[in-house]
Chains A and B, each alone.
Chain A
Amino acid sequence: MQTSAAVTFILAIISGMLVDNVLLSRFYGCCSFIGVSKKVESALGMGIAVVFVIIFASLICWPIYNFILVPLEIPFMDTITYILVIASLVQFIAIVIKKYVPKLYNSLGIYLPLITTNCAVLGVVQANTDMEYSFMLSMANAIGTALGFLLVIVVFACIRNRLESANVPKCIKGTPIALITASLMSIAFLGFLGMISI
């Protein structure tokens, strides 16, 4: 059965968000997932910052690859180009957050500049190139992956918040119970597997 472009776009978003979740299925960006999920506000801020970086990085990197690197016959420069684009975007976001949401800037701390090395961002952009997605499909992939990251990090922060007041055995309190929770969430997300078949 043939699917229209709009349906494919929506399915690609849902697929990137739930079925092939960047954190729980591909295990990219786990450092910030564990590090910034202690408070819901910080997790939300981090999630929004990552959403912004992933979407804009894909928006900028796709034309750079297809209209500059390929015509100049230097596609081997893709990874280093993406790294520089992502690093510049992160600096730009840091300036905006520092100026307009300083409280969030303080709570994000070292994790904000570390978005540069977040493999989720580079992974999405690199996947768009490797899979030879069209512009629309690469944007759908970026939006889906970014929303998936936001969803999972916020849900995980809420669960960790509840675990603070829960009666957890002393030996697994803190990070161990957080890791067990993450693994259970990963298993739960396996339930989405096979939901979409394009």
Chain B
Amino acid sequence: MDIFLKVLFSIIVFAVLFVLFIVLYRVNKKTKVPKGARELERNEFSCSHCGHAECKFFIPNKEEKK
């Protein structure tokens, strides 16, 4: 096969896959983490020292103190 055709096909294959990647990347960037999930994590009353929710020596996180 002609070298010109090989180069052309290579560029086409690369371009198609690259466009697919860019589209998915942009969709991913626009997708936001739901707010509820973040709040759920912040409201988990975990001990800032050991991380357990039912710690005997409970030391609340800085955010919870406020």
- A interface residues, Cβ below 8 angstroms from B: 68-69, 72-74, 77, 80-81, 84-85, 87-88, 91-92, 94-95, 98-99, 102-103, 105-106
* Across-interface contacts of B9 in A (CB, < 8 A): 72-74
Nearest residue, chain B, Cβ from A68: B13
One digit per residue, 1 when the CB lies within 8 angstroms of any chain A CB and 0 when it does not, for chain B 5-25 equals 010011001100110110011
* Across-interface contacts of A81 in B (CB, < 8 A): 13-14, 17
Instruction: Indicate if the CB atoms of A102 and B18 lie closer than 8 Å.
Output: no
Q: Using a CB-CB cutoff of 8 Å, which residues 1-58 of chain B contact chain A?
A: 1, 6, 9-10, 13-14, 17-18, 20-21, 24-25, 27-28, 31-34, 37-38, 40-41
The 9 closest A-B pairs by CB, nearest first: A102-B37, A84-B17, A91-B24, A72-B9, A88-B21, A102-B33, A91-B28, A73-B1, A95-B28
The secondary structure that dominates the A interface is: helix
- Provide a sorted-by-A list of 25 A–B residue pairs whose CB atoms are within 8 angstroms: A72-B6, A72-B13, A73-B6, A73-B9, A74-B9, A77-B10, A80-B14, A81-B13, A84-B17, A84-B18, A84-B21, A88-B20, A88-B24, A91-B25, A91-B28, A92-B24, A94-B28, A95-B24, A95-B28, A98-B28, A98-B32, A99-B31, A102-B34, A103-B37, A103-B40
Instruction: Indicate if the CB atoms of A87 and B21 lie closer than 8 Å.
Output: yes
The secondary structure that dominates the B interface is: helix
Q: Interface residue count for B (Cβ, 8 Å)? A: 22
Pick from B1, B25, B34: contact of A99, CB below 8 A: B34
Nearest residue, chain B, Cβ from A96: B31
* Across-interface contacts of B13 in A (CB, < 8 A): 68-69, 72, 74, 77, 81
- Bound CA–CA A81/B9 (angstroms): 12
